[in-house]
Amino acid sequence: MKCSEVGVTCLDDPELLKAYVSDASPLRGEVPKAAFFPIDATEVAKVLKWANKEKIAVYPFAGGTSLVGSPLPSEGVVMDLILMDYLEVFPKDKLALVGSGWKPSELNSELREYGLWFPIDPGSYDIATIGGMIATNAGGIRAVKYGVTADRVRALEFVTPTGEIVWSGAWSKKSSTWIRLHQLLVGSEGQFGVVTKALLELERLPEKAEVLMIETNLEEVGDLVLKLMEFEPSAVEFMDETTVEAVNHHPSAPFKLEGNSILLVEFDDERASEKAESIEMELNATRGEPEKLWKYRKLAGQALTYKYGKRADWDVAVPLSELSPALKFVKDRLEEGAVFGHFGDGNMHINYLGKSVEEVIEDAKELVCEMVKRFKATVSGEHGIGLLKLPMLKCEVSDEAIEVWRKLKLALDPNLILNPGKKIPL
């Protein structure tokens, strides 16, 4: 096969293609036969039409920050989407039409001149892409106020697995016209199409944010989160003692803390100062510099890997009323581990430390499945299923629902070209 015959920029040097065998998960893919670099929907369609004719699998790959192996290739070719850089801003409507290759940090630099902001803020803010975030329905630290990626997608341009270019969704806030195909793509991990442009709902850039730190522990934190939610925060993040210790030891840590578990809470509305004062008095919180505190928090996963070498992270989420009992359950079950996460959304990252995924997968499956039963948990709050979490999918999703997913997949992708083997057991 000569990839240059397809008519889209590509590379087929096996040495360079090795870059695609890993994402941010502990899993490894195979070296693909080629990587294509489309710049717009027409080029994406060209690759997909060719792949259907040749019966070659295509793996959409963007920032490569998946924690569950979602973009990893096994045979076939990669479609690298980082060159999809279209951008048009509609300031009066607080909307932007954004190519899927933009990183949220870069997008926000462009939006600053309009006083606007895309508020979804994952730990991978500087390295993930908008397309990848749509495909995984990414969350992050501000979902508690601004929602997850799905809540920001008003419409999409995408290419179906067989190569048709589709626009789905209205420009207006309201519309009962559309069957919301665009939302079908959100969280589908590249199963139903390749996102090329997204019409995203933006926010006014907040003028000022107050961030406070509260010392706590795993027993009390669930009730504390419920109390804090009454103040309508823009972020409520937790780090347990083990995580705090690990961040203290990381060379990039902006400061060191005593080593107790902490909650970080942010307010970014016009009553932020007033709310911060109340929290200081009522809950013994202390104010800090927002940038430094968020840098400290965002080092959590990286610092645990740095200190313990191996780490396996399960990003379960529960309804807030179940947070306290769910945490007690995790604490009793987890021998060597750490917990941090977006507690304002009931989303906890349960980390097994010093062990490989293979060593903990059975135990993790039991733990997560038990949490689904007892605490109405979801298997993945924000990272997706990919390959890593396929073994535990059926704890939450019924055979009947999976059968509907399969039928949809086969209807849209009869040759199973697009990212096969991920998310949907076939």
Ligand X SMILES: Cc1cc2nc3c(=O)[nH]c(=O)nc-3n(C[C@H](O)[C@H](O)[C@H](O)COP(=O)(O)OP(=O)(O)OC[C@H]3O[C@@H](n4cnc5c(N)ncnc54)[C@H](O)[C@@H]3O)c2cc1C
Q: Which residues bind ligand X (CB under 6 A)?
A: 23-24, 60-67, 70-71, 81, 100, 122-124, 128-129, 131-133, 135-136, 138-140, 189-190, 194-195, 301, 382-383, 419, 422
Report in angstroms how near the CB of residue 66 gets to ligand X at its nearest: 3
Specify the residue, 70 or 160, whose C-beta has the smaller distance to ligand X: 70
E runs forming strands in 85-162:
87-90, 95-99, 116-117, 153-159
Distance CA 343, CA 43 (A): 41
Report in angstroms how near the CB of residue 35 gets to ligand X at its nearest: 12
Residue type, 410: L
Specify the residue, 197 or 275, whose C-beta has the smaller distance to ligand X: 197
Report in angstroms how near the CB of residue 59 gets to ligand X at its nearest: 6
Distance CA 394, CA 379 (A): 9
Report in angstroms how near the CB of residue 273 gets to ligand X at its nearest: 27
Report in angstroms how near the CB of residue 84 gets to ligand X at its nearest: 7
Distance CA 79, CA 48 (A): 9
At 8, which helix (H) or strand (E)?
Answer: none
Specify the residue, 88 or 223, whose C-beta has the smaller distance to ligand X: 88
Identify the three-state secondary structure at position 87. Answer: strand
Distance CA 221, CA 260 (A): 12
Specify the residue, 275 or 342, whose C-beta has the smaller distance to ligand X: 342
Specify the residue, 11 or 283, whose C-beta has the smaller distance to ligand X: 11
CA distances from 403 to 192, 302, 423, 424, 426 (A): 15, 37, 13, 9, 9
Report in angstroms how near the CB of residue 153 gets to ligand X at its nearest: 12
Specify the residue, 124 or 216, whose C-beta has the smaller distance to ligand X: 124
CA distances from 69 to 30, 61, 64, 166 (A): 12, 11, 9, 27
How many CB atoms within 10 Å of residue 75?
13
Specify the residue, 39 or 283, whose C-beta has the smaller distance to ligand X: 39
Distance CA 321, CA 346 (A): 9
Report in angstroms how near the CB of residue 422 gets to ligand X at its nearest: 6
Q: Which residue sits closest to ligand X, CB atoms considered?
A: 132
